[in-house]
Structure 1
């Protein structure tokens, strides 16, 4: 599955860093149309996370993953057939649905395979993922030096081909065992206290709401930084994929070491405090980047990318642990599916948030970073009481270093 993730992300790296530029310069969409397309397709993709989670509790996980990769491939190839707004919106939405569902199922696969070592496994898996993103981003940066419509279209085609290859490789992956956690000894009391499902678990739903805000770093790299670059006079467009490459190189180098600091549930919760500082710094540097000349803007945009990458890595470690620790394993697929709504929802809300911040200028970016930083504090307090009672979370674990 690590190889599958690696190849998947090479294709995504080809497309993600240039999608905004493709829709702007190849399809001829306006600034507002690009933001709306990303927001609406992201909103439709929200359904993919809970749908994927429910399917995974009922059907073979690898077979569902294969079907989703085929859907993503078809959506990518379909984008090449038109430059009209409505079909572009439909095809983007289909790809978003498959992307969000496959993301949840990949996490569930890792959780089932790794068990108590899930944080370390997820860190290694994410390292593989970002190595693929980096390679794809470098290829995209090289292609953009040509500056032709054909180069953009080949990048999109490469994304679609990667999903075809990943679907074929997934056929060779073993089906992970289903998890049943409730033991026969002290289960009756736990069952009585456990919520009937994630939709009735108000604490978990509130946690997912805060996660929606913390996942906005994803939109910063896919929408915010490219748009900031496109609307900054004198800043080369090739900086957009290069910043994505920087993001992925940092994750490859640092994600596994950072994961050691979130090896237990309590440690993961404590990381929310430095995470808050990283988000605030990212917003401040983006705000300052909008106030100077070309060299100043390039340096500050790079500094912002570093800050948001650090936030991304810290949040990934926190999220991997808390999303599972707050859920009963007997309904882990359903709970992770609901948690996946956070990433899906931010793909809808995020483009609107970053375009609003861009339109508001430096104050908008500063407010953007501050809002996410404050949300870290809210989540830190929110999960405290649940973890003290701890009727649903896993026993404390230590990530193996062997």
Structure 2
């Protein structure tokens, strides 16, 4: 599955770097049409996370992931066949649906196959995925140097091929054990489980936790939207600093995500990590605000410091999120719960750009409040999950259903 992560994210890096340019120069869409297409496809894709998780609780995970990868490949190929806006919108929506499903299914696979070591496994997987994303971006940059519309089409074709390769590699993966697809021994009756604890939509604590996660995922919008726009808005530093800070983000994640993962290897440790995470988010917001108070050198230093702080926050939150999202879920419904948790990241893709543009519009005060609000949310989550984590229900070893 680690090789699949590399192949998948390399292909995604190819497409992410040129998607807007493809729809503009190859499909001939206007700026408004491109924006509407991206927003609509993203909104539809939100359903992919809970849908994929729910299906994975009922069918073999590797087979579901195989189908999703093939669906993503078909959606990418379909974009090459037409410039009709309605069809481009439909194919993009299908691709977005598959992307969000694949993200949850990959996390679920890591959870099931790694067991107690799931945080470290996902840290390694995220490191490899970031390396793949960077490779795809570099390949896209090289292809774009050709200055030909055919280059955009080849990059989209490469994206489709990466999903096809991922599907073929999935065939070689063994099916991990699943508590949601098990039977209990006839000598030991199944333990009673509260209905609200097997249905995430009726689990108020988990839904509240997901709501706080939506806020904590806002660091993603800082790098994709906030930093580039803030640099353009202030005019204190060269615009070329924005991609350099994004490279710094990727390099730090590749170098530090695995070492940092050990600080959140248990549910209790992950919860404790929320407090330093709170301080890191606040520091990132303050540094961003201070970047508007000086000349080019001062602004560059503070922007770099802010990028470092938000990257550390990103890595710490990833570690916390991997552990708590599973620790708060019953073993018999991990797929459904992780699917609902996936809504947080999907919702952030819509809310995030609005939040960072609001911070930019209000200047240094806006960035200070931005960091403070996320910091406060960390402390709220720290208190919220305490009651669930201190409970230690008796576990009953399941007997896995054989797959023949």
Into which bin does the TM-score normalised by the smaller protein fall? 0.7 to 0.9
**1:209 counterpart residue number:** 211
- Equivalent positions of 1:346-385 (< 5 A) are 346-385=348-387
Q: Which of 322, 328, 332 is the aligned partner of 1:326?
A: 328
Question: For residues 33 and 361 of structure 1, do their structure 2 counterparts lie closer, same or farther at Cα, with a shift above 3 Å needed?
Answer: farther
Q: Write the mapping of 1:261-340 to structure 2, written as runs, cut at 5 A.
A: 261-289=263-291, 298-340=300-342
Give the Cα separation in 1 of the matches to 2:358 and 2:274: 26
Question: Within 1, Cα distance between the matches of 2:298 and 2:87?
Answer: 39
Q: Structure 1: which 5+ runs fail to align?
A: 395-402
Q: Provide structure 2 residue ranges, at least 5 long, that are not aligned to the other structure.
A: 397-404
CA distance in 2 between counterparts of 1:209 and 1:178 reads 27
SS of 2:385's partner is helix
Contact 2:291 2:303 in 1 (8 A): yes
Q: Decide whether the 8 Å contact of 1:38 with 1:347 is kept in 2.
A: no
- Bigger drift between 305-314 and 10-19 goes to 10-19
Larger Rg: 2
Moved more, 359-368 or 53-62: 359-368
Matched, 1:9 2:9: yes
Q: 1:228 Cα shift?
A: 4.1
- Secondary structure at the residue paired with 2:105? helix
TM-score, normalised by the number of residues in structure 1: 0.84
**Cα distance in 2 between the residues matched to 1:393 and 1:281:** 41
Deviations along 1:314-348, whole A, 9 cap, x unmatched? 01110111111111101111111111111111122
Q: Deviations over 1:121-165 (max 9, x none)?
A: 111111211221222233344456666655555444433332222
1:244 to 243, 246, 257: 246
1:8-63: CA deviation from partner (whole Å, max 9, x where unpaired):
11122233355466667876654x76665544332211110110011111222122
2:344 corresponds to which of 324, 342, 348? 342
Counterpart of 2:401 in structure 1 is none
1:78-129 superposed Cα distances (whole Å, 9 cap, x missing partner): 4456677655544433222111110110011111111111111111111211
In the aligned structure 1, how far is the partner of 2:43 from the partner of 2:284?
A: 25
**What residue number does 2:59 align with?**
59
- The worse-fitting range, judged by mean Cα deviation, of 378-387 and 35-44 is 35-44
Deviation at 1:363, TM superposition (A): 3.4
Q: Say if 2:108 is the partner of 1:112.
A: no
Go from structure 1 to structure 2 and tell me whether the alpha carbon gap of 1:76 and 1:235 turns closer, same or farther (over 3 Å shift). farther
- How many residues are aligned here? 394
TM-score by length of 2: 0.84
RMSD over aligned CA atoms reads: 3.4
3-state SS of the aligned residue for 1:389? coil
Pairing of 1:57-136 with structure 2 (within 5 A): 57-80=57-80, 87-136=87-136
